[in-house]
Structure 1
């Protein structure tokens, strides 16, 4: 995979991470401070701090941790989930944004320990013919980090057993888009099982969608060349 250019460590980037946290709580994709977001920057990884309500976050409150190794123990404390964020950035240099939350429908499937099969063509937005389930391990543990890195090697999102969900993004906007799409897929899969069973698209059908999805999803304003948002 081709490594992506790190995001610039600017006030605008930091505010975009804060805005993503505020957005996911406003959209009921997360609760309290249980979610977190990080972005790869030239000097390492920029991540939300531990236990600070999103409405109190300011750009200078975000924490920088190294791409490899332990955070500075004398500085501000990063999210307790920093190990798997660090692991994701190491395993997926093509995806500079990692967004984690506890969306309700995703969490229902996660506690049932069910992955999401190709019940809808939007499954292709996550890189394959399903949204996989990462095995359970204690939050912040090396085991969870290893589980996440393994399951996300060729996916852009996953459920986490008895925990929540994580998505990757080429940009902050793309990560936000994938998180909402993932929660919609989880809801669709759960509801479609009521009184029947969803029809699962074939691998060939999903492969066809993935080709069509090569440039699907939100883009930066400078990439739109005056066009409106894609549907």
Structure 2
């Protein structure tokens, strides 16, 4: 977060990560390494497209149109949005029935339908730790593991799919409190959920304490 606070990161582009079916209107957002902490959002049933917003630091290109050695990309936001929706008119914190704001944590975050994460876990007993590279090795052994920020992983019968992405500004090290936001259309229906990974020019808790120490 210190890099973001210093203003060295900038949102660069959006990257589609694929689609997932949510036939029953139950969209699960979870760290697959801790499925017991998953959040389930009530959404409009249908096909959902997962999109990543990527931020970078360092120079993107040299004179030879190659990235410089200090170039790095991070997922700053990820959202699942109903395809063929009527337009998003409101973005507000996702809350439970008591109005408590919901969040998700981890170094990897997945969007999936009901029961998909435990099904894939049962089908892949050798998968002890869920990471984007490990999942890619299974689903696409020839994929570029170094640059990949997400993976689309189906169940063996193809009826269920999850899309997982890296979380946070440092691969393998996530926060415990990534905020979730509800995306609603003009009729008030929930047509998507967005995860904010705090990868932008806002200070985190540690940065705030450092700043306060300098400027009491």
Please state which band the TM-score falls in when normalised by the shorter chain: under 0.3
Higher fraction of helix:
1
Larger Rg: 2
Q: What TM-score results when the alignment is normalised by the length of structure 2? A: 0.24
Highest relative contact order (Cα 8 Å, sep 6+), 1 or 2? Answer: 2
Higher fraction of strand:
2
Q: What TM-score results when the alignment is normalised by the length of structure 1? A: 0.23
